[in-house]
Structure 1
Amino acid sequence: METVKLTEKQKKARRGRNIALGLLLFGLVVLFYVITMVKFGSA
């Protein structure tokens, strides 16, 4: 089976996208946590 060889530029671009996605997911988790705490806090 042949594997695709990525250039350094492609590796850096992929790493940047992965970091951005990770930060986005982390931000969503924090957002949902804060919303949940606010809802339970007012109940």
Structure 2
Amino acid sequence: MRVIADLHIHGRYSRATSHKMSIGEIARFAKIKGLNLVGTGDFTHP
């Protein structure tokens, strides 16, 4: 099985990222780009 992945995507809660980057939008564009594995790097800090 071939895996096409992007494992460094930030969601809308990261700084300098579009507020449109919801899980649904990330999934929609991942499908358009032909990705079958997506990972986010979001975390919280003070």
Q: Which structure carries more helix by proportion?
A: 1
Could you say which structure has the greater relative contact order, defined with CA pairs below 8 angstroms and 6 or more residues apart?
Answer: 2
TM-score (norm 2): 0.29
Radius of gyration: which is bigger? Answer: 1
Q: Which structure carries more strand by proportion?
A: 2
TM-score (norm 1): 0.30
